Amino acid sequence: MTRQERGEHVLKRLGELYPDPPVPLNHDDAFTLLVAVLLSAQCTDVRVNQVTPTLFQLGRTPQSLAAVPVEKIEAIVRPCGLGPQKARAIKELSRLLMAEHGGRVPAALDALEKLPGVGHKTAQVVMSQAFGVASFPVDTHIHRLAQRWELTSGKSVLQTERDLKRLFPQAAWNKLHLQMIYYGREHCTARGCDGTVCEICRACFPKRQRPKLTRKA
C-alpha cells in the first residue's frame, strides 16, 4: 500500500469501527471542557471524569472558580497529578477569562494558547470539541499510531499533526482524531501491539515481521 492508500484504509475502517465516537471527557460547555482537558495532561480520562464532578461543585463558571482558594482546587485535582500546577492554572485562567474575555472561553486558537496551562493540543481539543472548528489534536495514541501506520515520520507531535492534516480531508479531522484515540486505547496499544499485531497494522503491512519502533510524544 502507498501512504495515500493506507490513509484511505484507516479512514474507512475506523469509520466502520467508531461511526459516532463520543467525547471521552465529560463536560457541559466550553469552560468545563477546557478545565477537563487541562486536567487530562499526564492523566487518564477516566480519572479526570471521577474528579471533575467534585471540582465543579465548587464552581462551573470562570467567575465562580476564580473565587475559590487555590488550596481547595488543589485538594480536589491532586489525584490527576501535577496538582499544584494544575490548580494554579485553573484559578488563573478563570481569572483571565473574566478579566479579558467577558467570562467566556475564546473561540480562537491563539487566545486559548495564551491561557495558563493551555498548550497547543489542549487548545485544539477545545476548538474541535467545543466549537466544532476543524482541528487535529495529536495525543500519545495518535502519535504512536501514525508512526506504526507510516503516515508520518514522527519526528515531533507538530510534524505528525501537519502530516495527518495533509493526508486526511479537513471534514474528517474532528471525528478521526477521536476514532484514532479509541483505536489506540483498545487495539493498537503501546504494549499490546508493536506494529505487527492489530488489525490495521496487519492490513497495512502484511509482510512486516519486525516491531515498528516509534518516537514518544
Domains 3-21+136-204 and 30-129 share a fold: no
Given its phi and psi angles, is residue 210 left (phi above 0), alpha (psi -120 to 50 degrees) or beta?
A: beta
Q: Is 194 a catalytic residue?
A: no
Contacts of 106 (CB under 8 A, 6+ apart): 112
Question: Between vectors from CA 32 to CA 126 and to CA 172, what angle results, nearest 5°?
Answer: 30
Contact status, residue 144 vs residue 184, Cβ threshold 8 Å: yes
**Candidates 86, 91, 121, 163; catalytic one:** 121
Residue reference for cell 478563570: 94
Please tell us whether the domain made up of 30-129 is placed in CATH 1.10.340.30: yes
Architecture of domain 3-21+136-204: Orthogonal Bundle (1.10)
Q: What is the pLDDT of residue 30?
A: 98
Q: What is the pTM of this model?
A: 0.94
Contacts of 140 (CB under 8 A, 6+ apart): 184, 190, 216, 217
Q: Where are the domains of the chain?
A: 3-21+136-204, 30-129
Q: What is the pLDDT of residue 216?
A: 87
Contact status, residue 164 vs residue 142, Cβ threshold 8 Å: yes
The sign of the CA dihedral 96, 100, 104, 110 is negative
Radius of gyration of the chain from its Cα atoms, rounded to whole angstroms = 18
Question: Between vectors from CA 173 to CA 172 and to CA 179, what angle results, nearest 5°?
Answer: 85
Amino acid, single-letter form, for residue 74: E
Q: Is 121 a catalytic residue?
A: yes
**What span, in angstroms and rounded, lies between the C-alpha atoms of 21 and 38?**
21
**Candidates 139, 165, 175, 212; catalytic one:** 139
Q: Which long-range contacts (CB under 8 A, 24 or more apart) does 189-198 make?
A: 190/140, 190/144, 193/148, 195/148
Contacts of 148 (CB under 8 A, 6+ apart): 188, 193, 195, 201, 212, 214
Q: Which residues of the chain carry a pLDDT beneath 70?
A: none
**What span, in angstroms and rounded, lies between the C-alpha atoms of 177 and 164?**
10
C-alpha cell of residue 151: 503516515
Residue count of the chain: 217
